Structure 1
Amino acid sequence: MEHIEFAYCLNGPDAGKRLDSEDHIVARLKADELAWLHLLADHPDTDPWMEEVLDFVEPPTRAALTAKSTRPRASVQEDGLVVILRGVNLNPGEDVEDMVSLRVFLNPARIITLSRRPLRSVSELREEVAAAEGPQSVGSFLASLVERLGGRIDETLFELAERVDLLEDAVIGAPAPEQRAQVVDERQEVIDLRRFLGPQRDAIGQLASGGHAMLSKSDRRRLAEAHDRLVRAVEELDAMRDRLIVLKDEIDAAVQDKLNRNLYLLSILSAIFLPLGFLTGLMGINLGGMPGAESPWAFWVFTGALAVVGALQLWVLRRLRWI
């Protein structure tokens, strides 16, 4: 049973009771009272076990629940409702934006969830169920799960927004090339979150507006509120993405300005020393007839002439407002 993470009764006299044996799990899932089973999606025994034991799950549904690559969506199947969601990755040593896929199958008598990595929202809901304080209907379970996922998303976006605000203040105050890497990292996180939260917003909106017969009016209202929070989250991500693009442009412009200033100074120095270099090169040729070759004062006279030429060049450049 390594592929089975846990299973609980959700309603009836056994509400909150954990199902420890495979026989009890299968019997409860085939009964009329509601049960929740959580499986490891990447375990090699999961798909064969579902095919053999959970005969009420159709092959297309099973394929959607165990697929390696998923995208948030909600679809009504002949055997129930399939909802695929994403939650922020709060596992140690992993990136928050590498969102964890949660696959959910619901029908009036059973709930089956699958994930490849732990999700804190699922753990919290499990603790609530184990204390016999959890949801006791399919719609309430789905709404509770979506609300918990949304709460983690809001916390993550709040922390991300604070980092972007601090970065924005730093860039506006003193843009520097080393800030570019941080801007790129934050922008990549925003893009990764936006990639999953956009479809998740649409899926929750579909459930809230059309929904399913298993969802009561109260459940749909809760889902509508969760959808509104996701709409705001996506809008905030879009705004942060645009702000980070502007910050990158500011850093690039500052770097370009510094480069242009350096090139300008080099050009000025070249303009000053080019005539002086020409004169020293001309007077340094080893040919007969060089003026002042025999005079002890010729070097100092020539040096003074170079100083006069340099000063004259600086005067001309200042008149032209080049310096």
Structure 2
Amino acid sequence: MSCTAILVGDGPTRTVKSEEVSGYRGPGFIWTHIECESEQELGAMIGDDIPEVAASAMTATETRPRCDRMDDGALVNLRGPAAEELATSDRLVSIRLWVRQGKVTSVTRRPLAATALVVAQMKAGTILDPGDLVAAYARAISKQLDPQVADLGDRLDDCESDLQPRHVYRLRREIAEIRSEAISFRRFVAPDRDALETLALLDFSWLAEEDRLHIREAADRFARMAEELESVRERSALLHEQLTDMRGEQMETRALLISIVAFIFLPLTFVTGLLGMNVHGIPYADSPWAFWGVVGFCMMIALLITGYFMRVHWLRR
């Protein structure tokens, strides 16, 4: 659990104490960032100057990307890559921001990878108001997520180029994994786009036109990623069908081969069984050429049956 308050615009960027946050009125702005998994502790840490609806949304266990205007502030929820590998099914971590003139409060239950980049920009002096902060988060999340989405497409390209019967079982596992990851990403990428597009249309004094341009740029990147994820999902389904057909053809070919071999040996088994009976009267039983004669007769039957199968194209793959 951690709570960090950073003051910008009132001299050099610096970390301030919690008691300074509630009473600060300018000329800069304060960003309070909270990382905590406990809902009760979150409720106590976010402060009393946040509307009840916004506070409830920021402490909720499950969230999805959204952007809602509330009086002179905006509640912005986004999802981005985690700073460390997650054991949960959700691939992306949520960040909830309550933004108003002079103050920004952000909450994450697990560390977000983009936060370190935003803090570095704050210390470098490139973020001067709440609009810059939200735009920086939007850009950082989209830039970090873009290579991961592109990697899914590259992995699927490798599966397509390696589409061969002997790799059916391995490719089915890989394609199923890629499709699952694409669905998991798309669950939040498309709402991220919608939330940023909504934010760019809101009329706030703390949201400059340059900030809107950066937010629209991030929204466009999210839109492209959503299209790429949809393409990956559809291509994965198509490849899975091709692999299923390929596996079915393999099974049919093997079953046909087994049936042909069994059909060839069926009359041969009958001949050998008939001549192998331990009874008197077997023709040519005492002849020295009888064994080789039976062998030749069996080979002739096998060749005739094989020739017939080749003529009707049963042996052609």
Same fold (TM over 0.5): yes
Corresponding position of 1:101: 94
The change in CA–CA distance for 1:163 and 1:108 in structure 2 (over 3 A counts) is same
Matched, 1:40 2:38: no
Question: Does the 8 Å CA contact 2:28/2:128 hold for their aligned counterparts?
Answer: no
How many pairs were matched up? Answer: 315
The corresponding residue for 1:27 is 23
Pick aligned residue for 2:120 from 127, 132, 146: 127
For the 8 Å contact 2:9–2:27, the answer to whether it is kept is no
Alpha-carbon distance in structure 1 between the residues aligned to 2:302 and 2:2? 84
Q: 1:108 offset after TM fit, Å?
A: 0.9
Q: 2:168 aligned with 1:176, yes or no?
A: yes
- Which of 296, 302, 306 in structure 2 is aligned with 1:310? 302
Establish whether residue 219 from structure 1 lines up as the match of residue 214 from structure 2: no
Instruction: Report the 3-state secondary structure (helix = DSSP H, G, I; strand = E; otherwise coil) of the residue aligned with 2:31.
Output: strand
Q: Distance in 1 between matches of 2:153 and 2:203?
A: 32
Counterpart residue type for residue 135 of structure 2? A
| 8 Å CA contact retained: 2:64, 2:78 | yes
Q: Provide the C-alpha distance between the structure 1 equivalents of 2:304 and 2:165, rounded to a whole number of angstroms.
A: 40
The answer as to whether partners of 1:90 and 1:96 remain within 8 angstroms in 2 is: no
Is 1:50–1:62's contact at 8 Å kept on the other side of the alignment?
no
Distance 1:274 1:61, change over 3 A: same
Q: Distance in 1 between matches of 2:26 and 2:37?
A: 27
How far apart, in 2, do the equivalents of 1:35 and 1:179 lie?
Answer: 51
Q: For residues 290 and 98 of structure 2, what CA distance do their matches in structure 1 show?
A: 99
Identity value in percent: 28
Specify the alignment match of 1:74 in structure 2.
67
| SS of residue paired to 1:321 | coil
Matched, 1:206 2:198: yes
Show structure 2 runs of 5+ residues with no match: none
The aligned counterpart of 2:13 is 16
Question: Retained in 1: the 8 A contact 2:66–2:191?
Answer: yes
SS of 1:176's partner is helix
Q: Secondary structure at the match of 1:261?
A: helix
CA distance in 1, matches of 2:139, 2:310: 68
Query: Which deviates more, 64-73 or 244-253?
Result: 244-253
Q: TM-score, normalised by structure 1?
A: 0.87
> What amino acid is the match of 1:27?
G
Q: After superposition, give the CA deviation of every residue in 1:146-179 in whole Å (9 maximum; x if it has no partner).
A: 1111111222223333322223222269753212
Larger displacement relative to structure 2 (59-68 or 163-172): 163-172
For the 8 Å contact 1:71–1:199, the answer to whether it is kept is yes
Q: SS where residue 269 of structure 2 aligns?
A: helix
Query: Which whole-Å deviations, capped at 9, do the CAs of 1:122-160 have from their partners, x for residues lacking one?
Result: 1111122234x1322222211121111111122222333
TM alignment of 1:134-283, pairs within 5 A: 134-171=126-163, 175-210=167-202, 212-283=204-275
Runs of 4+ displaced beyond 4 Å: 30-33, 92-97, 172-175, 293-297
